[in-house]
């Protein structure tokens, strides 16, 4: 068994979904959809630490890419994506189509990132 990077939730081998089977398109070339399992999602709510905020504030003085925030955003999106894939696998899906991200600020410094899509079972054509 392995675990997701953002949580200590164990994933059984049958609960894994290959990242290559996730697409923003409405179909997977070479596959046909045989079952729709419905919408699946992964939600992560994160806040910036005081030290991260200070460090990022110092980076804004220089200009350019604020790497502390970039790393936080990338890690948060990855965690939401992983949770979405886990949710799909729990429903028996082997693919996700129409995958999307959304983000909302819940309060100052606290952001929700949502990865969602349609869980499907596909077969090779």
CATH number for the domain harbouring residue 107: 3.30.110.70
Q: Token digits for 106?
A: 């819940």
Place of tokens 């054509």: 125
Please report whether residue 60 resides in a domain: no
Q: Which of 10, 18, 8 is nearest to 81 (CA)?
A: 18
| 5 found inside a domain | no
The verdict on residue 87 lying in a domain is yes
Is 44 part of a structural domain of the chain? yes
pLDDT at 111: 85
Local confidence pLDDT in tens for the 125 residues of the chain: 344 444 444 445 556 899 999 999 999 999 999 999 999 999 999 876 555 555 555 555 566 666 777 788 899 999 999 999 999 999 999 999 999 999 998 887 788 999 999 999 999 99
Radius of gyration of the chain measured on its C-alpha atoms: 17
**In angstroms, rounded to a whole number, what is the distance separating the alpha carbons of residues 34 and 77?**
29
Q: How many domains does one find in the chain?
A: 1
Say what the pLDDT of residue 107 is.
Answer: 84
Residue 62 covered by a domain: no
Task: Give pTM, 2 decimals.
Answer: 0.76
Q: Can you tell me the distance from the alpha carbon of 31 to that of 67, in angstroms, rounded to the nearest whole number?
A: 39
pLDDT at position 6 is 42
**Structural domain containing residue 93:** 19-49+76-124
């Amino acid at each position: 068994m392995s675990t997701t990077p953002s949580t200590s939730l164990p994933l059984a081998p049958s609960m894994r979904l290959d990242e290559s089977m996730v697409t923003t398109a409405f179909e997977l070339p070479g596959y046909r959809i045989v079952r729709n399992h419905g919408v699946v999602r992964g939600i992560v709510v994160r806040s910036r630490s005081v030290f991260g905020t200070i460090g990022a504030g110092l980076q804004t003085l220089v200009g350019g890419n604020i790497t502390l925030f970039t790393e936080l955003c990338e890690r948060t999106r990855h965690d939401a994506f992983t949770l979405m894939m886990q949710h799909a696998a729990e429903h028996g899906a082997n693919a996700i189509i129409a995958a999307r991200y959304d983000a909302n600020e819940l309060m100052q410094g606290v952001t929700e990132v949502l990865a969602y899509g349609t869980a499907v079972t596909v077969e090779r054509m």
